Structure 1
């Protein structure tokens, strides 16, 4: 079975030392996009534990999926049996984002396995801990791996947006669209991420306003008229609301349909803007409906 992650003395001491360094004002790296040897072995051990518990050859299954999806005849070399090819790939060859592919496939296979609910929950918890303790620039949010650049923004914007949307059937398409944006970010498709962020906000606004169509600037204007940003005549939030129209402008000039000219920082800005605005819109809509 999947082994419980243990809080070893050396790990606790390392965390204490880092906190003391931060308190002194010393630079401490928060995230890394390099998969260490320790992390690679932890991932492989996790897969082997699942293979034993669920009685499946996960190494062979995951390797087969990777070969097919990457469009290659093998992962490392033609003279290796599939299991050795996969193990060597994990330990020696795979880049960090490819390790994330492996984790994603492992979670998907586990979730779909018969009688695997307990194993899946343990897997989710273990992956989250391993990502955090290895300072990987990735996180697990509602079963999906996402890239994170700022712990503060990630915790304050991305997680609340996904948590708020999850389980609200009315906004299921908004959740899917926002998830698509995060997926595009993790794959380095900056223009696509901008487009998805803009589309998620537009969709959320159409739902609360009851509109079939409309683009972001006009939808924000309508939402303001209907009291979603305070009284229509008030100007306290007007500049902030109008500022979000820049999301549409970026999409129109730099999104995937307009040459994909944006960069990673701008894509993250759009994702964070969209997440913050979606949280506000959904919560405000529920408050307004409750008071009516």
Structure 2
């Protein structure tokens, strides 16, 4: 057991958490408290044993929806999704790319890239932009590996993004007529996420520390989300 400050003795857990939240000096700490509380709601209350009342799933969903509405109403710029509070820079991109990507990856086959993509957003929220870019590339590569595993396509364990793209193209994930019409698609896949990561965070920075700006990190996160949606939906469309 532990006691949250400013409490100095064991008491009511609700009061203890409330006082800790209200006394937090940093916004990041407040977000951590909210994330922890709603993770408990999301994962621990979805059973009739919790309150011996029916409709437990609906109540948990309503609580999460209410939180996200309050975030939006107060222009906080965050949303609770899949057990994490993620930073939202564009409502349109969030709705059309980020949420679909998380939803499509939230399966057993894509557990690895799902975790890596969430980790990228967690790092972004914490201001760890280099780590966020690294996780973007991991999620991109892991998604392609997961598709290969699901389809029985051969690749080498150490294959990087370029080699994995070669595999999914040769196996017809992108139809041949699309490959011809959209020659730039391959170039985009090969250069966008890997290049951004390699240039900004993938190698030693030398004597002068490098800084990855927020707007670039947001761009790479959104591009990664769009790419993951494209790849997973392309796989779903295969016979």
One fold, TM greater than 0.5? yes
Query: Which of residues 227, 237, 246 is equivalent to 2:192?
Result: 246
Deviations 1:19-59 (A, max 9, x none): xxxxxxxxxxxxxxxxxxxxxxxxxxxxxxxxxxxxxxxxx
CA spacing shift, 1:151–1:121, aligned 2, 3 Å: closer
User: What SS is found at the alignment partner of 2:109?
Assistant: helix
Query: Which of residues 39, 46, 53 is equivalent to 1:108?
Result: 39
Query: Which of residues 195, 200, 215 is equivalent to 2:139?
Result: 200
Displacement of 1:108 in angstroms is 2.9
Displacement of 1:255 in angstroms is 2.1
User: What SS is found at the alignment partner of 1:149?
Assistant: coil
| Alignment pair present for 1:122 and 2:62 | yes
| Alignment pair present for 1:262 and 2:212 | yes
8 A Cα contact 2:39 2:83, kept in partner: no
Deviations 1:77-112 (A, max 9, x none): 98xx99777545534644333221111111233333
Query: Which of residues 226, 234, 237 is equivalent to 1:276?
Result: 226
Query: Which of residues 117, 120, 125 is equivalent to 1:186?
Result: 125
8 A Cα contact 1:131 1:139, kept in partner: yes
Deviations 1:177-203 (A, max 9, x none): 111111111111101110111111111
CA spacing shift, 1:232–1:142, aligned 2, 3 Å: same
1:27-66 alignment, distance < 5 Å: 64=3
8 A Cα contact 1:206 1:213, kept in partner: no
Q: Matched residues in 1 for 2:178 and 2:72: separation?
A: 46
Query: Which of residues 152, 156, 159 is equivalent to 1:214?
Result: 159
CA spacing shift, 1:219–1:232, aligned 2, 3 Å: farther
Which gives a bigger RCO, structure 1 or 2 (Cα 8 Å, sep 6+)? Answer: 2
RMSD, aligned α-carbons: 2.9
Structure showing greater Rg: 1
TM-score scaled by structure 2? 0.77
What are the ranges of 5 or more consecutive residues in structure 1 without an aligned counterpart?
1-60, 68-73
| Alignment pair present for 1:98 and 2:98 | no
User: What SS is found at the alignment partner of 2:159?
Assistant: coil
8 A Cα contact 2:117 2:136, kept in partner: yes
TM-score scaled by structure 1? 0.64
8 A Cα contact 1:224 1:232, kept in partner: no
